[in-house]
Structure 1
Amino acid sequence: MTRADRVLAVWCLDWPAVAAAAVAGVSAERPIAVLRGNSVVACSAIARAEGVRRGMGRRDAQGCCPELVVVQDDPDRDARLFEPVVGAVDETVPGVEVLRPGLIVLGARGAARYFGSEEAAVVRLIDAVAVAGAEAQIGIADTMSTAVIAARRGAIVAPGEGARYLAALPVSELAAEPSLAAPQRADLVDLLRRLGLRRIGDFARLSAAEVASRFGADAVLAHRTARALPQRPPSARRAAPELTVELACDPPIDRVDAAAFAGRQLSTRLHTVLSAAGVACTRLAVTARTETGEELTRIWRCARPLTPADTADRVRWQLDGWLTHRARPTGPIVALTLEPVEVVAAGALQLGLWGGEGEETERARRALVRVQGLLGGEAVRIGVLSGGRGPAERITMIALGDELTPAADPAKPWPGRLPEPAPTLLLLHRPVVHLTAADGAPVLVTDRGLFTAEPTRLRWGRREWALLGWAGPWPVIERWWSTAEPAAPAVRAQVQLDAEPTEIRAVLLVYDARLWHAEGVYE
């Protein structure tokens, strides 16, 4: 490698925790952890000092640090707040590429020539990031993966010394950066440890043939990293101009939601073109042109080929950052362009171009995006498991392409939650039904949450069934601590019907305002 090939990586420490603290207004002196589901994915240095670690469960983390502030993972938030940092670095040294919010890379040669040396460039870039309101560590090496690992230690690796620098580091460093490693990289690291390969140098001493024959495809990429070789071989090539796609925005876009919707449509078009050409994108340039002629461009780099969902995420993050940044564009966006800067052959992807989902799944997804284009962004929605006590509360409907964030945390206890199994079908209009006793009298619920009589029959419209059994009633008492006048609690019950095998066999009932409603059916 020559100095001209060298890469500079700018790593903002604990960026998800930094962004979350900024949005929540949490002081830098308080420990904070970011959770995905119920597991810690990032935390501040103060939280680490108290024993909090990535991968910990919520309860374990709070046990280590009772003062811990816990927030949920939000990639949109991280990307939006990172854009000023990217802009500050780009103004200092042009040509940045974003690996993920919190980590960017650029060529070291131009920075070293402009500022006089690599060391001087590091000082200037750290100052630029500080002015943008963040802290950064910088690493420089011959390859991108080595530079990223060096950035975690704030090191400049001499030309040709990448393999020697990596050899003494623990093998866990190969899985430390998610933007350079597949999700199964942690399993590979665990296997290497059990085989006695505890240092990166131990793994690097294996031959490429041994690694390829005994481990998976991701191990081959990890082995190239361990040997300080580029993760992608030189076959990665510049994309043909005809793979670029553009969308004219009519009317012009000045809102984040409209920009994200347009980005999803353009992402689908791009991957249709890439699929037809038999290639996949590994570096993507997102360009926006405004009414005043201003042109904004940002390059996103990914260790693995981008899927349609990956592309849509990056377009949404970038547009969100531009439209909410304090130096907003000079006018509404009138055109969006996606340019594959670098592509690889789709045949080289052992798990399939679309991440193992299958071509049928991808065709269905593209069809749904077309429906969105015709009927609007909210026309296609996906159900996400949420927290709540009733079955309808436990589903949050999210527009296709938006971040799948539930309205309430499903990992919380939720005492009084309806027991399993959940109804097969939820009835959002909740029709009125009549529950009666053996003498024909209506069965109601007392103030103590009990049936006024044993239910024997259910009438629903013109149909009527005898009951084979029932369970409940279960009062739903919420906000019992409130000083406001409490509303009468809803009550749920399940009834099993003496029905034909092809008919509804059981119904979930909810009692509200002295009426029974059918909330769900079991088939």
Structure 2
Amino acid sequence: MRCGNVIPPGREKGAARVLALWCPDWPAVAAAAVARLPATQPVAVLFANRVVACSAIARADGVRRGQKRREAQGKCPDLFLAQADPDRDARLFEPVVAAVDATVPGVEVLRPGLLVLGARGAARFFGSEEAAAERLLDAAAATGVEAQIGIADELSTAVIAARRGAIVPTGAGARFLAPMPVRELAFEPSLAAPERADLVDLLHRLGLRRIGDFAALTTAEVASRFGADAVLAHRCAQAKPERPPAARQPPKDLTVDHRCDPPIERVDAAAFAGRMLATELHTQLSNAGLACTRLSIVAETDAGEELSRIWRCAEPLTPEGTADRVRWQLDGWLTRRDRPTAPITLLRLVPVEVVAAGALQLGLWGGVGEEDERARRALVRVQGLLGGEAVRIGVLSGGRGPAERITLVALGDEPVPAADPTLPWPGRLPEPAPALLLFHRPVVRLEGEDGAPILVTERALFSAEPFRLHWGSRQWRLTGWAGPWPVDERWWASSTENDDGSTTFTARAQVQLDGEPADVRVLLLVYHDETWHAEGLYD
């Protein structure tokens, strides 16, 4: 843990200071904590089969963000892999937030693993910014996590400073940022829209390799050449406020309440109430032509306890984003060690800061844009007409076959898998999974070079080397194959005895078909009762 280097002060006198506390590699830390792994175990978190976070030990072995799963495993064979889970990350981060908030009130959560608060009050109370940083690091360490702190005039500068454990003196933000690589402007997802990565790539190709190079451009040059997000990035590079100087004070009648009858003790019931509140809040905001950028979540219990937490966003919250934050926060409150002593009787959402609905473009927290939100509203409308089960989404589940590893849940419900995907599952199909599943499983014929059908022997081997595959009226030569892999389940009845005394196994295999470049495919085949079926298609 470190609070870091102090650079020479500048001339300007800022009105407010921001303190950012950052827990490095938080998704990997949370995944390791849930799996109860030792500190020496390398960990990586995956989303869409690519690494989105990894531990320092994994990086030392060559694992990097953006790598494909196989590449990461090739760099580090002992790598523990976990799927991205924002609910898990937020639930485990809540004790850290509570510890910091108990030391210095006024915490605002940017995302799980990163929080900010006003530095001036903390510095006055503890005597200096350095002393405040040390006390907050101690508070985070008491919860068992490593953290770094950055302090600067502006929020984005403080967040970047936290990655280096630096305290930036008043007025020195631009000088602090100038020598850094321009990619730092896109490194933090809670402060940059998804298209920021494309902007950084373009700036690099134009020869603007440092933040100072980009900051040296005039606002007119940036606005005329690049998009709206580039103007925000340019303000960040110049250490200027990223938001308009005067945010609207939200009307009091925008606050929404929900009386819980019966009182809520379970996370799923709280999440359901949170979704209804989120819908009601955004209906009122939409009618007023406003969008929320800072949201306070308040809960009251039957024992008179009041819990509150502020979530801060650089972009307006969508109904789905609001519901996610309510679920994350309630999950953290109801599952932490010092959980409330009584059930929750009241939930309240308070828009602390609002802007005009068209002032900012949607795109933060997973890239939810206007098209995505319109599509979601349409799907919710379909649910209203046809029932909740009419629209379902897939959740990664545990199982051996690809179809078993998908649990379909109704849109809006808690994405809970039917089986734990982190269990060993002996006999599971090797990665990667097929891109397309064929649920009707058409029959295919696998042949050897002599035209004889290929079977699977009792030793789980091909009866001959596969050479050709027939599917309907078409046939292909094979350029490669893998397997067969016997299905390792129901081992007491996994084979059937034929009239001749032989046995038939259930197994899977992968075959690559020869053909034109655009027509080359890899199929997943499943073998049962001496018949091959096409089960999946790989890209």
Give the alignment's TM-score, normalised by structure 2: 0.76
Give the aligned partner of residue 370 of structure 2: 356
Check 1:414–1:426 CA distance in 2 against 1; reply closer, same or farther (3 A cut).
same
Give the aligned partner of residue 158 of structure 1: 169
3-state DSSP of counterpart to 1:397: strand
Cα contact 2:315–2:363 (8 A) shared by 1: no
Letter of the 1:336 partner, please give it.
Answer: L
Matched, 1:238 2:249: yes
Matched, 1:125 2:136: yes
Displacement of 1:294 in angstroms is 0.8
| Cα distance between partner residues in 2 of 1:340 and 1:61 | 42
Displacement of 1:40 in angstroms is 0.8
Greater mean alpha carbon deviation, residues 296-305 or residues 208-217? 208-217
Letter of the 1:486 partner, please give it.
Answer: S
Check 1:235–1:261 CA distance in 2 against 1; reply closer, same or farther (3 A cut).
same
Give the aligned partner of residue 201 of structure 1: 212
Greater mean alpha carbon deviation, residues 205-214 or residues 313-322? 205-214
Check 1:420–1:145 CA distance in 2 against 1; reply closer, same or farther (3 A cut).
closer
| Cα distance between partner residues in 2 of 1:447 and 1:163 | 68
Q: Which runs of 5 or more residues in structure 2 are unaligned?
A: 1-11, 442-454, 459-471, 476-482, 497-504, 509-525
| Cα distance between partner residues in 2 of 1:328 and 1:17 | 24
| Cα distance between partner residues in 2 of 1:370 and 1:302 | 30
Cα contact 2:402–2:434 (8 A) shared by 1: no
Q: Pairwise mapping of residues 312-461 of structure 1 onto structure 2 (< 5 A)?
A: 312-350=323-361, 355-357=369-371, 360-367=374-381, 381-383=392-394, 392-393=403-404, 395-402=406-413, 414=429
Matched, 1:173 2:181: no
Give the aligned partner of residue 142 of structure 1: 153
Task: Tell me how many residue pairs correspond in the alignment.
Answer: 469
Match of 1:486 among 494, 500, 509: 494
Matched, 1:37 2:48: yes
Cα contact 2:315–2:360 (8 A) shared by 1: no
Displacement of 1:250 in angstroms is 1.1
| Cα distance between partner residues in 2 of 1:249 and 1:477 | 52
| Cα distance between partner residues in 2 of 1:248 and 1:309 | 21
Q: Pairwise mapping of residues 82-121 of structure 1 onto structure 2 (< 5 A)?
A: 82-121=93-132
Deviations 1:23-78 (A, max 9, x none): 10110111111111211111111111111111111111112112211111111111
Check 1:335–1:169 CA distance in 2 against 1; reply closer, same or farther (3 A cut).
same
3-state DSSP of counterpart to 1:190: helix
Q: Which runs of 5 or more residues in structure 1 are unaligned?
A: 428-445, 450-467, 493-509
| Cα distance between partner residues in 2 of 1:400 and 1:357 | 17
Check 1:68–1:214 CA distance in 2 against 1; reply closer, same or farther (3 A cut).
same
Deviations 1:347-402 (A, max 9, x none): 22356997222674354355467689xx88x7853245879887854642123235
Displacement of 1:335 in angstroms is 1.0
Letter of the 1:260 partner, please give it.
Answer: A
Displacement of 1:239 in angstroms is 1.5
Match of 2:297 among 280, 286, 296: 286
3-state DSSP of counterpart to 2:369: coil
Displacement of 1:484 in angstroms is 3.7
Match of 2:200 among 165, 189, 193: 189
3-state DSSP of counterpart to 1:344: strand
Check 1:29–1:240 CA distance in 2 against 1; reply closer, same or farther (3 A cut).
same
Letter of the 1:219 partner, please give it.
Answer: A
Displacement of 1:338 in angstroms is 0.8
3-state DSSP of counterpart to 1:220: helix
Check 1:27–1:94 CA distance in 2 against 1; reply closer, same or farther (3 A cut).
same
Check 1:236–1:418 CA distance in 2 against 1; reply closer, same or farther (3 A cut).
closer
Cα contact 1:264–1:369 (8 A) shared by 2: no
3-state DSSP of counterpart to 1:238: coil
Letter of the 1:177 partner, please give it.
Answer: E
| Cα distance between partner residues in 2 of 1:418 and 1:257 | 30
Check 1:138–1:391 CA distance in 2 against 1; reply closer, same or farther (3 A cut).
closer
| Cα distance between partner residues in 2 of 1:177 and 1:347 | 24
Cα contact 1:96–1:299 (8 A) shared by 2: yes
Give the alignment's TM-score, normalised by structure 1: 0.79
Displacement of 1:187 in angstroms is 1.1
Deviations 1:275-307 (A, max 9, x none): 111111111101111111111000001111111
Displacement of 1:244 in angstroms is 1.2
3-state DSSP of counterpart to 1:179: coil
Cα contact 1:235–1:344 (8 A) shared by 2: no
What's the RMSD between the two structures over aligned residues? 4.1
